[in-house]
Amino acid sequence: MPIKDIGIGKKKFDTTVKPWKTPWYIIALQHIILAYFKVITKIKYNKKECRALQKPCLILQNHASFIDFALTIMANFPKRTAWVTSIEEFIGREWLMREVGCIYKRKFTSDLTVVRHILHAIKKNNTSMTIFPEARFSLIGINEEIDAKSYARLIKLAGIPVVVGIANGVFIRSPQWNKHPYRNIPINATFKEIITAEETQTLSTEEITKRIEEVFVYDDFKYWQDNNFRIRCKKRAQNLHKVLYQCPHCGKEFTMNSKNHTLWCEACGHKWELTEYGKLKAVEGETYFEHAPDWYRWQRANVNREVEEGRYLFKDDVRLELLKSSKEQFVKIGNVTLTHDTNGFTLKGKLDNGEDFYLNRSTESMYSCHIEYNYQKRGDALDLATQDDTYFVFPQNYDNVITKLHFATEALHDIESAKKKAEIPVK
């Protein structure tokens, strides 16, 4: 439910504003920024066989860092592109978001206004459109679940070529769990046309969905290992326990910790090193997982099993913050209770102003969720949004739990979707 009054003003983001066509001076500024990135990073990009970039197209790209914007501009030069961006990405700089042609969206909500804005940018502004379909940064450098079928429907409406851009090295350079210092690793991006303008009309939604899912695959740890890159950064495993939260030796959750290049379990003492070449190695005893994404997938499988067996439940007191406006930004509005179960995410309690608060996002309505590690140095957070508001939710009594919430959201949605599909009568 929308907040009626929290005493700080009521001006909110206007998501109905149509995307602007990027003016020449912003394009000039973009290329100054590109020159900077070319100096400080080792960037290679391949678009030789991608003629679609010479005209308006839909670009679906993986996303691990702000540098992904620079990669897209490089590949799309000299053409313009507009962007679909999360509403909180440029807090306090709404004017800049408008100038570069961004379309605001609240994460993991269905909003037909966004679709209309995308089509306006393509057909009226005659510009390409770039979307990061995972709708969140990668957590361990591999592709996350995407709603490919919804993008397939959009593609048929847009009727323009579709390009997939996959960048390797961006995640390792600056992972979400420890963005600084930057790791010295080459970045390699490839842009490939996967659907022509003609095929948008002749291929079925299912065929387009399959093409997207087949090519939207990446593994940055494998890229690191296969190319034998050496990363000497001493903090290469710092905060890796935020993602790898369950110990494979003793099985306990939320007991992992990390510092510099080592990772260990506080409960049993088992310890790993993340080597300079991207592999995990136990200091003593069994390694279990040499490849960090395999450890991540093991955790996901454990959560899936917990959900399937009806054992999953999370409940905690949380600090609730509301994204009020570009000017006021995030404002604490109270402490409430968060419950996550088969009913989805439920927030319930009394706000600081005395108002009763209730919000539910059902399992069916969210195929995944957006999480942030130590968001703006205020703690680990979960992003829950409605059509009108964006809330950041900070668990108060549990440490290092948000990656599991991410897994559970997807598992609960998949089970609910399977149930709904089974209820549809066969004609």
Dihedral pair phi/psi, residue 123, rounded to 5° = -90, -35
Dihedral pair phi/psi, residue 407, rounded to 5° = -60, -45
The answer to whether residues 289 and 343 belong to one domain is no
The answer to whether residues 342 and 273 belong to one domain is no
> 236 is written with which tokens?
């290469």
Q: Report yes or no on 9 lying in a domain.
A: no
pLDDT tens for the chain, residues 1 to 427: 333 333 333 456 777 778 878 887 877 777 777 777 777 777 887 776 677 787 899 999 999 888 888 888 888 877 888 899 887 776 766 677 778 778 888 888 888 889 999 999 999 999 999 999 998 889 999 999 999 999 999 999 999 999 999 999 999 999 999 999 999 999 999 999 999 999 999 999 999 999 999 999 999 999 999 999 999 999 999 999 999 999 999 999 999 999 999 999 999 999 999 999 999 999 999 999 999 999 999 999 999 999 999 999 999 999 999 988 767 789 999 999 999 999 999 999 999 999 999 999 999 999 999 999 999 899 999 999 998 899 999 999 999 999 999 999 999 999 988 887 777 554 4
The answer to whether residues 372 and 416 belong to one domain is yes
In the sheet that holds 256-259, the strands lie side by side as: 256-259, 262-265, 271-274, 280-282
Q: Report yes or no on 17 lying in a domain.
A: no
The answer to whether residues 291 and 366 belong to one domain is no
pTM of the model: 0.91
Last residue in a domain, options 308, 336, 354: 308
The answer to whether residues 294 and 332 belong to one domain is no
pLDDT of the residue at 25: 80
Q: Are the beta carbons of 262 and 271 closer than 8 angstroms?
A: yes
In sequence order, what DSSP letters do the residues of 14-48 get, joined into one string?
Answer: -TTSPPPPPPHHHHHHHHHHHHHHHHHS-EEEE-T
The answer to whether residues 346 and 294 belong to one domain is no
- The boundaries of the domain holding residue 304 are 240-308
In sequence order, what DSSP letters do the residues of 272-313 get, joined into one string?
Answer: EEE-TTS-EEESSS--S-SSHHHHHHHHHHHHHHHHHTT---
The answer to whether residues 97 and 39 belong to one domain is yes
The answer to whether residues 92 and 121 belong to one domain is yes
Residues forming a β-bridge with 359? 347
What one-letter code names the amino acid at 374? N
The answer to whether residues 304 and 318 belong to one domain is no
In sequence order, what DSSP letters do the residues of 216-238 get, joined into one string?
Answer: ---BHHHHHHHTT-----TTTTT
Question: What total number of domains does the chain contain?
Answer: 3
Alpha helices by DSSP H, listed for 159-280, are: 170-173, 199-202, 205-215, 220-226
Cis status, amide bond into 78, omega within 30 of 0: yes
Dihedral pair phi/psi, residue 211, rounded to 5° = -60, -45
The answer to whether residues 322 and 290 belong to one domain is no
The answer to whether residues 254 and 185 belong to one domain is no
Q: What CA–CA distance (Å, rounded) separates 98 from 18?
A: 9
The CA-based angle 90-326-328, given to 5 degrees, is 130
Q: What CA–CA distance (Å, rounded) separates 138 from 302?
A: 20
Q: Report yes or no on 11 lying in a domain.
A: no
Pairing of strands 256-259, 58-61: unpaired
Name the 3-class secondary structure at 74.
Answer: helix
> 388 is written with which tokens?
């009108």
Last residue in a domain, options 275, 308, 341: 308
Last residue in a domain, options 257, 275, 308: 308
